[in-house]
């Protein structure tokens, strides 16, 4: 176990640094901070609400993640396969689990950094009023967990192809479905041709409903377990994909 | 001598294509095995199975006694592997890349520094350690791959085309490096440069269509040529008939053929019977008749010809 974490850590360090070797890191971090801010102020009506809370800020995270997170995840494995470095990586004395875990943790930490960089809005709201910082903290936690779920799915899909563009589009599509599946409109459409228990099952997988619960300050164990088990499952699928498809 | 690499009936198919049909081999400590074959013969696939990158459909591979499929970490720890094309992370510098490899190999930071300086001076990387790998020339990228493979001084080295894309000086350097390390390691190199086999390999295996078609030293392989050990003689045109007559009578010679004529000289070739050594007899027969010759040498043969003979034959037999 110690061995496993040590190796995953070494891989995560390398992978995290790799984001900063290209302009990707700067572009992503800038866009993320700018867009989360812009959406909170212009679409969410941060000032018009006249309330000292960050609901309008967090409400748009799922939609931003929809295209920003697949952009972080798409290179994780597709690039290794395209450049052939996967052969180098997988012939080093590490297990596929360590490699998958290390890469995922690096990407998750990167998105975490982007979230941390939005701190000015937290300072602003504290300056303007007296918000419930507990809710803000759990909202950040919920947003981070949801980003992890997006990333794990993106990492798995990235392992299925050599082509980063395909990885991006597929991940965005799959994540789009996970976000939408809880909406009443989508549920009604499914109800027309699916048995009720399937509709309920799909609805319970919705990122949106789990995320909204957390951002409303209801930290239900149920939602946290949902995101963590989705991450675990996607990474498990990722390990299998690497094992099966590394040479193709 | 201890056997460090062992392959037992390795087999691999990709969909309808059988890439490797059952390859067995052994490499002992101190041996440098040359792995030869035309493109698409299954060289790289075999090496990928030995290194644990690909799972064989059947058969098994052992590195230092560890079955690669069952104890992958132990096997990979004893192995230095240069994949085909020497892939490396382009955005890293050789130093940061080698540091990463050293950390994975479990060395502490002082040890890593020491090993990087040793491996980079062996591979000739000293001047480019701080440049991004993607900006390096093909030759230097290859050397980064070699430095990565020898960083932990492994008992087994598997190098897929280590000299591909290098200039003649760099090739010489890499061959020397391999020869220097050979004594206490088992090394496999794949190549289609046949001079390399004579330069560094103690043994060669030729594979074609996923099967081993020849296994032996360069000398053994050349014995397969019908003109191996033949004696070539250069004489003036007017004496060529006399020489032919003098040699035809010798036992141990099947026939004497004319290879060509130029500048008033004829080149004759006496073919030996069943690989007999005929040079002494030929010289004695010519001396007895006082026939002066300009040139006389024993043909060893060209590995290229052996290669063609073996691999083309394999192709024909599978088509038959």
In chain A, which residues have their Cβ closer than 8 Å to the Cβ of B76?
91-93
Interchain contact, B53 vs A246, CB within 8 Å:
yes
Interchain contact, B52 vs A91, CB within 8 Å:
yes
Write the pLDDT tens digit of every residue in A136-195.
Answer: 999 999 999 999 999 999 999 999 999 999 999 999 999 998 888 877 777 788 788 888
Tokens of B157: 């080295």
pLDDT at position B320:
37
pLDDT at position A200:
80
Interchain contact, A14 vs B100, CB within 8 Å:
yes
pLDDT at position A217:
75
3-state helix, strand, coil in chain A (%, to 5): 80, 0, 20
pLDDT at position B74:
94
B14, B83, B95, B144: best mutation site toward chain A, by most A Cβ within 10 Å? B83
Give A116-123's long-range contacts (Cβ < 8 A, gap of 24+).
Answer: A117/A29, A117/A32, A117/A33, A118/A32, A118/A33, A118/A36, A118/A37, A118/A57, A120/A37, A121/A36, A121/A37, A121/A40, A121/A54, A121/A57, A122/A54
Nearest CA-CA distance, residue A237 and chain B, Å:
19
Interchain contact, A93 vs B76, CB within 8 Å:
yes
Write the pLDDT tens digit of every residue in A86-101.
Answer: 999 999 999 999 999 9
Over range A213-230, report the average pLDDT: 85
Write the pLDDT tens digit of every residue in B90-116.
Answer: 999 999 999 999 999 999 999 999 999
**Can you tell me the distance from the alpha carbon of B133 to that of B18, in angstroms, rounded to the nearest whole number?**
35
In chain B, which residues have their Cβ closer than 8 Å to the Cβ of A95?
72-73
Confidence bin at B315 (pLDDT 50/70/90): low
Residue A228 has pLDDT above 70, yes or no: yes
**Rounded to whole angstroms, what are the CA distances from B207 to A175, B17, B54, B145?**
48, 16, 19, 25
Write the pLDDT tens digit of every residue in A8-52.
Answer: 999 999 999 999 988 889 999 999 999 988 888 887 777 777 777
Over range B193-198, report the average pLDDT: 81
In chain A, which residues have their Cβ closer than 8 Å to the Cβ of B54?
247
Over range B140-159, report the average pLDDT: 95
**Minimal Cα distance from B71: which residue of A?**
A93
Write the pLDDT tens digit of every residue in A165-175.
Answer: 999 999 999 99
**Can you tell me the distance from the alpha carbon of B50 to that of B63, in angstroms, rounded to the nearest whole number?**
8
Residue B198 has pLDDT above 60, yes or no: yes
pLDDT at position B23:
92
Give B218-222's long-range contacts (Cβ < 8 A, gap of 24+).
Answer: B218/B303, B221/B303, B221/B306, B221/B310, B222/B300, B222/B301, B222/B302, B222/B303, B222/B306
**Minimal Cα distance from A13: which residue of B?**
B100
In chain B, which residues have their Cβ closer than 8 Å to the Cβ of A102?
none
**Can you tell me the distance from the alpha carbon of B250 to that of B245, in angstroms, rounded to the nearest whole number?**
10
Provide the phi-psi class of B84: left if phi over 0, else alpha when psi is between -120 and 50, else beta: beta
CB contact, 8 Å: B227 with chain A? no
Confidence bin at B317 (pLDDT 50/70/90): low
Instruction: Encode burial over A96-129: b for 16+ CB neighbours within 10 A, e otherwise.
Output: bbbbbbbbbbbbbebbbebbeebeebbebbeeee
**Minimal Cα distance from A4: which residue of B?**
B104
**Can you tell me the distance from the alpha carbon of B295 to that of B237, in angstroms, rounded to the nearest whole number?**
13
Among A37-46, B21-30, B116-125, which is the least confidently predicted range?
A37-46
Most trustworthy range by pLDDT among A46-50, A237-241, B282-286, B316-320: A237-241
Interchain contact, B91 vs A18, CB within 8 Å:
yes
Confidence bin at B316 (pLDDT 50/70/90): low
The answer to whether residues A215 and A55 touch, using CB atoms and an 8 Å cutoff, is: yes
Sign of CA dihedral A54, A55, A58, A60: negative
Among B88, B89, B104, whose Cβ lies nearest the Cβ of A92?
Answer: B104
CB contact, 8 Å: B87 with chain A? yes
CB contact, 8 Å: A8 with chain B? no
DSSP state of A162: S
CB contact, 8 Å: A84 with chain B? yes
Nearest CA-CA distance, residue A149 and chain B, Å:
27
Tokens of B97: 């890349």
**Can you tell me the distance from the alpha carbon of B256 to that of B227, in angstroms, rounded to the nearest whole number?**
11
Residue A78 has pLDDT above 60, yes or no: yes
Cβ-in-10-Å burial (0-12, 13-18, 19+) of A91 comes to buried
Confidence bin at A247 (pLDDT 50/70/90): low
Cβ-in-10-Å burial (0-12, 13-18, 19+) of A180 comes to middle
Confidence check on the interface: ipTM exceeds 0.95, yes or no: no
**Rounded to whole angstroms, what are the CA distances from B35 to A241, A242, A246, B46?**
31, 28, 24, 10
pLDDT at position B319:
44
Tokens of B258: 């004319």
Residue A223 has pLDDT above 80, yes or no: yes
CB contact, 8 Å: B92 with chain A? yes
Nearest CA-CA distance, residue A17 and chain B, Å:
9
Sign of CA dihedral A223, A229, A232, A233: negative
User: In what helix (H) or strand (E) does residue B203 lie, and over which residues does it extend?
Assistant: strand B203-208
Interchain contact, B89 vs A85, CB within 8 Å:
yes
**Minimal Cα distance from A248: which residue of B?**
B14
Sign of CA dihedral B239, B245, B246, B247: positive
pLDDT at position B271:
84
Write the pLDDT tens digit of every residue in A49-75.
Answer: 777 778 888 888 998 999 899 999 999
Interchain contact, B72 vs A18, CB within 8 Å:
no
Tokens of B307: 């290669």
A8, A87, A96, A243: best mutation site toward chain B, by most B Cβ within 10 Å? A87
Interchain contact, A91 vs B84, CB within 8 Å:
no
Residue A248 has pLDDT above 60, yes or no: no
Residue A219 has pLDDT above 80, yes or no: no
Confidence bin at B194 (pLDDT 50/70/90): confident
**Can you tell me the distance from the alpha carbon of B46 to that of B59, in angstroms, rounded to the nearest whole number?**
11
Residue B314 has pLDDT above 70, yes or no: no
Interchain contact, B83 vs A92, CB within 8 Å:
no
In chain B, which residues have their Cβ closer than 8 Å to the Cβ of A22?
91
The answer to whether residues A30 and A125 touch, using CB atoms and an 8 Å cutoff, is: no
Write the pLDDT tens digit of every residue in B236-262.
Answer: 888 888 888 888 777 788 888 888 888
**Can you tell me the distance from the alpha carbon of B151 to that of B118, in angstroms, rounded to the nearest whole number?**
8
Spatial CA neighbour of A246 closest among A95, A105, A72, A71: A95
Interchain contact, B53 vs A7, CB within 8 Å:
no
A91, A95, A96, A98: best mutation site toward chain B, by most B Cβ within 10 Å? A91
């Amino acid at each position: 176990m110690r061995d496993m974490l040590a190796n995953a850590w070494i891989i995560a360090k390398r992978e995290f640094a790799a984001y900063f070797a290209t302009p990707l890191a700067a572009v992503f971090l800038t866009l993320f901070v700018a867009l989360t801010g812009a959406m909170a102020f212009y679409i969410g009506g941060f000032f018009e609400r006249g309330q000292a809370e960050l609901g309008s800020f967090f409400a748009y995270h799922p939609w931003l993640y929809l295209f920003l997170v697949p952009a972080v995840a798409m290179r994780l494995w597709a690039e290794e396969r395209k450049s052939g470095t996967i052969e180098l990586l997988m012939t080093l004395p590490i297990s596929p689990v360590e490699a998958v875990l290390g890469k995922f943790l690096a990407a998750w930490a990167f998105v975490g950094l982007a979230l941390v960089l939005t701190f000015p809005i937290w300072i602003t709201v504290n300056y303007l009023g007296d918000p419930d910082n507990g809710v803000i903290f759990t909202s950040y936690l919920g947003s981070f967990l949801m980003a992890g779920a997006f990333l794990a799915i993106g990492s798995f899909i990235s392992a299925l192809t050599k082509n980063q563009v395909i990885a991006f589009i597929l991940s965005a599509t799959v994540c789009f479905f996970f976000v939408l599946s809880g909406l009443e409109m989508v549920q009604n459409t499914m109800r027309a041709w699916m048995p009720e228990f399937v509709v309920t099952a799909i609805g319970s997988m919705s990122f949106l409903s789990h995320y909204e619960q957390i951002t409303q300050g209801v930290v239900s164990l149920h939602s946290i377990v949902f995101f963590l088990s989705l991450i675990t499952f996607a990474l498990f699928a990722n390990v299998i994909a690497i094992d099966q498809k590394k040479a193709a | 001598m201890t056997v460090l690499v062992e392959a037992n009936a390795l087999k691999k198919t990709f969909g309808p294509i059988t890439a490797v049909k059952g390859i067995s081999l052994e490499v002992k400590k101190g041996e440098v095995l040359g792995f030869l074959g035309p493109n698409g013969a299954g060289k790289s696939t075999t090496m990928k199975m030995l290194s644990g990158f690909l799972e064989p459909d059947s058969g098994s591979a052992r590195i230092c006694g560890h079955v690669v499929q069952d104890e992958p970490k132990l096997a990979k720890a004893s192995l230095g592997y240069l994949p085909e094309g020497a892939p490396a992370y382009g955005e890293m510098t050789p130093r940061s890349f080698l540091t990463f490899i050293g950390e994975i190999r479990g060395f502490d930071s002082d040890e890593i520094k020491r090993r990087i300086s040793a491996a980079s001076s062996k591979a000739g990387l000293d001047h480019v350690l701080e440049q991004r790998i993607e900006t390096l020339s093909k030759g230097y990228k290859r050397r980064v791959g070699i430095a990565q493979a020898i960083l932990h001084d492994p008992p087994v080295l598997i190098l897929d085309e280590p000299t591909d894309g290098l200039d003649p000086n760099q090739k010489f350097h890499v061959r020397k490096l391999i020869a220097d390390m050979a004594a206490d390691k088992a090394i496999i190199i794949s190549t289609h440069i046949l001079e390399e086999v004579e330069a560094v390999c103690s043994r060669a295996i030729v594979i074609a269509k996923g099967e081993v078609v020849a296994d032996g030293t360069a000398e053994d392989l050349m014995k397969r040529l019908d003109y191996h050990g033949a004696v070539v003689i250069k004489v003036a045109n007017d004496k060529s008939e006399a020489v032919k007559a003098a040699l035809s009578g010798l036992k141990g010679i099947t026939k004497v053929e004319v290879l060509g004529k130029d500048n008033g000289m004829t080149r004759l070739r006496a073919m030996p019977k069943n690989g007999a050594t005929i040079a002494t007899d030929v010289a004695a027969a010519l001396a007895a008749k006082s026939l002066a010759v300009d040139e006389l040498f024993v043909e060893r043969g060209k590995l290229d010809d052996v290669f063609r003979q073996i691999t083309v034959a394999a192709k024909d037999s599978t088509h038959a």
